[in-house]
Amino acid sequence: MAALLRKSSILFALGAFGGLVTALAIWLAGLAGVTALFGVAIAPELTPEFVYPKLVWGGIWGWLGFLPLVVTGWWLRGLVISIIPAAAAWFYFLPADGAGLLGLSLGLLTPIVVLGFTLIWGLVTEGLAEMCGVYARHPA
């Protein structure tokens, strides 16, 4: 039980950190005009109201590390698990925020931009999990 609680806590923390990195990436992309260059109206202000949900949901999505995926390499695992939060954004969060299905009212390339940001989350989270030995058979 202690091992499960330990792994759960670590996965949540790593996912939350991935959420922080993603929030900063989204903010910087908006600030630098990168999202506008793609015709996507995503340029948030760096506020607690913007960052906090990314931390919480990043942590929750971090628990995807419990999925028994048969992939080799942290980067491939990061790519695979990042599809799940992207799909949640496309089909639930963006429509609930009034951005339409896939967020298309923010721009035609919104689904690709959203996937790019969730890829950042997945790669950061799984890269850190690899560095921390989360998936090692005999963690330190």
| Radius of gyration of the chain measured on its C-alpha atoms | 16
Number of domains within the chain: 1
The per-residue pLDDT for 1 is: 86
The per-residue pLDDT for 125 is: 97
Average pLDDT over residues 93-112: 97
Count Cβ atoms below 10 Å from residue 60 Cβ, excluding itself.
15
Range of the domain at 26: 2-132
For the stretch 118-134, pLDDT in tens is 999 999 999 999 999 88
For the stretch 15-35, pLDDT in tens is 999 999 999 999 999 999 999
Residue 137 lies in a domain: no
Residue 140 lies in a domain: no
- Flag whether pLDDT at 94 surpasses 80: yes
The per-residue pLDDT for 30 is: 97
Contacts of 73 (CB under 8 A, 6+ apart): none
Contact criterion met (CB below 8 Å) for 126 and 78: yes
Contacts of 40 (CB under 8 A, 6+ apart): 106, 107, 109, 110, 113
Residue with tokens 């698990």: 81
pTM listed for this prediction: 0.91
Residue 106 lies in a domain: yes
